[in-house]
Amino acid sequence: MDSAEILRKRKYRHSLVRDFDSDRVLSAFLLGDDRPTLIFICQNNSDSSGTLPDLRDLERIVGMSLTVRDARKVEDGLAVVQQGQVQRVVLDESAFDREKIYLRSPDNTSALEISGEDFKALLEDLGFETESETARLRIYDFGYAAVRQSAQNRVVSGIQPSGDMTLGNYLGAVVNWQKQVENYDENFFFLADLHSLTTLPDPADLRDRIFKTVATLVACGLDLDKATLFRQSDLGGYHTELAWIFSCLTPEGRLEQMTQFKEKARKQEFVGSGLKTYPILMAADIAIYQATLVPVGEDQRQHLELAREIIRRFNGRYGYTMPVPKADMPQVLARVMSLTDGTSKMSKSNPNRDSCIYLLDNPDDIKRKIKRAKTDSNRDLFFDENRPEISNLLGIYQVLSGLAQAEVVEQFKGQGAAKLKAQLTEAVIEALRPIREQYDRLSADRDRVLEILSQGKARVEPIAQQTLAAVKQRVGL
């Protein structure tokens, strides 16, 4: 059975064509090992015509050492799948975003034309799931593996300049930033001041919050020898020009599907168009620096998925230009919740100041807020989604103590919320004391804070220049 017969039998729309775009051909390669693997790669994502990316990249992607490699192209990959000769398929996922893709015939004179959407559905129909992390179909962007010159990962993450940063900002973002600085080769962090304009802040207040946020991040111990910190608006021309190009590739309906847009639009008296296009600017923030990993909490995951769609769509239309980044989800406490309502995120926008612990709070304020934190009467303390307030306090203590969940539960077994609050108060005060002391020193040296931002801009601007130049050349500007 050949590919055409499989498509006919399963009633997938297709055409046999002789005039086709060779860059949109899906080449199939068979890797022989203890789990035979079929690789589909878009022709214009390979490093040269008819060849595979570097074997070392493939081994890293596939997650195993390849003992046998058959680099001959498999002329009829679908037939190989249909006949059960492979256990898994690794697919260049940019194929999914292409309006048409082509499966070349054995004689190279014609090709089967099928839509990317139908090709994805066909593979699912053949038993290879295309969404699940643990599925037999492993989705990977071969475009990046094919062109990269090293095994480095570049991580990009932004934070809005809130000024008075909360314990939620610290445990949900900054602590993970500190960990990733040790784990990854390049780390770029930026103050997302352009994003903050969606709430129309007071100009003087915004400038003050930018200064306080930078000083607080440095006070938290962010290692600036291994990480780069800069202000989004200092490179705003690159971000916004790429965002405009991305906006021309993004269906309006996708923006209206964003949960955060719906939630914030209900809360704001005036809803500017920037609130709706916020995810497009976020996509540009990521792509302009060629990011491969983006640390996100659960509340930002939908935005990152849209960013990935936009980047794949650009690469699919204009040729590979930038990697499609992966989400780097914090392993512990991705969200810190309010002390007064365990179902709401800890946020400085909450009018009840007791709902948040701020990094610059004094010990007396911290003690008062934790003492008043909402709990329940059950003396047995354990992580339970039906007990959000207790789970929140346990989770904060877990991160600060460095213990595993089971160890935290064992420590407070049968002791009730009062004991947990007392221990948590001590842990929070001790964790924040060096941050407050370092902040006081930095706040008296404004020039040092401005110098940090200037150095950050100088470090990342050449990358932004190069990316935007390539994008403009691709689209015809």
- Contact 294/304 with Cβ under 8 angstroms? yes
The angle formed by the CA atoms of residues 260, 266 and 268, to the nearest 5 degrees, is 95
Burial class (CB in 10 A: 0-12, 13-18, 19+), 136: middle
Buried b (16+ CB within 10 A) or exposed e, 154-182: bbbbbbbbbbbbbbbbbbbbbbbbbebbe
Closest CA to 72 of 48, 50, 87: 50
- Residues contacting residue 138 through CB under 8 Å, at least 6 positions apart: 61, 62, 88, 89, 90, 91
What is the full DSSP assignment across 187-242? EEEEE-HHHHGGG---HHHHHHHHHHHHHHHHHTT--TTT-EEEEGGGGHHHHHHH
> Hey, which residues does 38 pair with through a beta bridge?
30, 89
**Which positions are annotated as active-site residues?**
264, 345, 348
| Radius of gyration (C-alpha) of the chain in whole angstroms | 25
Burial of 206 (0-12, 13-18, 19+ CB in 10 A): middle
For residue 472, which of 274, 237, 273, 276 has the smallest C-alpha distance? Answer: 237
Interatomic CA distance for residues 371 and 363, integer angstroms: 12
What SS3 class is residue 410? helix
Using CA atoms, how far residue 326 sits from 9, 14, 112, in Å, is 36, 32, 31
Q: What whole-number distance in Å separates Cα of residue 407 and Cα of residue 46?
A: 48
